[in-house]
Structure 1
Amino acid sequence: MKKMVMIGVGVAVLLAAAIGGTLFVTGAFGGHTAASATEAAPAPVKATAAYLPMDPAFTVNIEDGFATRFLQVEINLMYRDSSVVDRATKAMPHIRNDVLLLLSAQNRESIGTPEGRLALQAALLNKINEVLTADTGSGGIEAVYFTKLVVQ
Structure 2
Amino acid sequence: MVFQRTLLAFLLCLLPLSGFAEDEAKDSGYIEYIELQPPFITNYGGVGPLKYLKAEVSIRVTSSEAEANIKHHTPHIRNNLVMLFSRQTDESLSTAAGREQLRLEAMESIRQIMVSEYGEEGFSMLDDLLFTSFVTQN
- TM-score normalised to structure 1 length: 0.71
Mark the runs of 5 or more structure 2 residues left unpaired by the alignment: none
How far apart are residue 144 of structure 1 and its match? 0.5
The one-character-per-residue Cα deviations of 1:59-93 (angstroms, maximum 9, x if unpaired) are 01111873221100000000001112221222111
SS at 2:50 equivalent? strand
Alpha carbons of structure 1 residues 64 and 101: separation in structure 2 relative to 1, 3 Å: closer
Paired AA for residue 48 in structure 2: F
Q: RMSD across aligned C-alpha pairs, in angstroms?
A: 2.6
Paired AA for residue 39 in structure 1: P
State the identity as a percent: 22
In the alignment, does 2:25 pair up with 1:38? no
* Higher relative contact order (CA closer than 8 Å, sequence separation 6+): 2
SS at 1:63 equivalent? coil
Q: Is the 8 A contact 1:91 1:135 kept in 2?
A: no
Q: Distance in 2 between matches of 1:35 and 1:68?
A: 68
| Greater helix proportion | 2
The partner residue of 2:36 within 54, 72, 83 is: 54
Q: Is the 8 A contact 2:32 2:67 kept in 1?
A: no
Q: Which residue of 2 aligns with 1:66?
A: 48
Alpha carbons of structure 1 residues 91 and 40: separation in structure 2 relative to 1, 3 Å: closer
The partner residue of 2:89 within 103, 107, 113 is: 107
Larger radius of gyration: 1
Q: Distance in 2 between matches of 1:61 and 1:54?
A: 18
Mark the runs of 5 or more structure 1 residues left unpaired by the alignment: 1-20
Q: Distance in 2 between matches of 1:151 and 1:64?
A: 14
The one-character-per-residue Cα deviations of 1:14-33 (angstroms, maximum 9, x if unpaired) are xxxxxxx9xxx7xxx9x726
The partner residue of 1:90 within 61, 72, 92 is: 72
